[in-house]
Structure 1
Amino acid sequence: MADQKASILMGATFVVFSISVSRSLAGDLPWSLAILAVFAFLSSLCAVMAVLPSTKKPDPSKIVPNLLFFGHYTSLNEEEWTEEVIQSLRRDETVYRMMLHDIYQNGQVLQRRKYRFLGLAYRLFITGLVVTMLSFVIELLIAY
């Protein structure tokens, strides 16, 4: 869900930024459009940060392998991975613990990274719209 929201915001901000750049290349870029372009660019950067995968390597001594995570089983062939999972899931409690661990890890990623950047991206875009409107009104008042 966070990735979809970030994609929508990236699309909107890229369109706004592209229009602003094309307008500036034509030689006519009012302050209000320049302000909107800056806020759209900053907002799109935050949206991109929300969907970027984490590249930080965890401490190997603290890693509890998550058998359900693709990063663990891609180095194994299917038969090895299946056997490892079956051996680990002999008891019902182990199944529940693995699922809960997976859900908890997903929640931590969402809370720490995705929604923080996504919220910042939306706030920047909304702030940019408000500041753009104010600067547009000021430009109109000065022009007339």
Structure 2
Amino acid sequence: MKPTHIVAIVVIAIAVGVLISSMGSVTEYVDFATAQEMYNKGKDKSLHIVGTLPKDNSGKVVGMQYEPRLNPNLFIFEMIDNKGVKEKVYYNDAKPQDFERSEQIVIIGSYNKEKKFIAKQILMKCPSKYEGEQKKI
């Protein structure tokens, strides 16, 4: 065999290995109902859920519980998924900075035995500083 053939086979083998390993770490974007259904069927894997924070009439975020003096590593909040379902989310870490200012939230996690959604990670989409007033030219 020529050295170029050997190199080509090695490169293909590495590419296949990378593809197979990355397929196992892919998570799905679902809503709360689908996540609950998947947990009930025994599929206990991390899922992405996209949603927003509930707000009162004045625009203030409601449904958050965070008391850093009692437990700085427990943040509980309510989130409304894209289908309008409101659910409590438990995050075993400190409340992210500027959490209340987020336009959209993506939580990554899964349900536990007590049927609580445990977020392992929170991703926030904050308002753009470029939106709003536009200058006339």
Q: Structures share a fold, TM > 0.5?
A: no
Decide which structure has the larger Cα Rg and report it. Answer: 1
Q: TM-score, normalised by structure 1?
A: 0.28
- TM norm structure 2: 0.29
RCO greater where, 1 or 2, for CA within 8 Å and sep 6 or more? 1
Which structure is higher in helix share? 1
Q: Which has the higher strand share?
A: 2
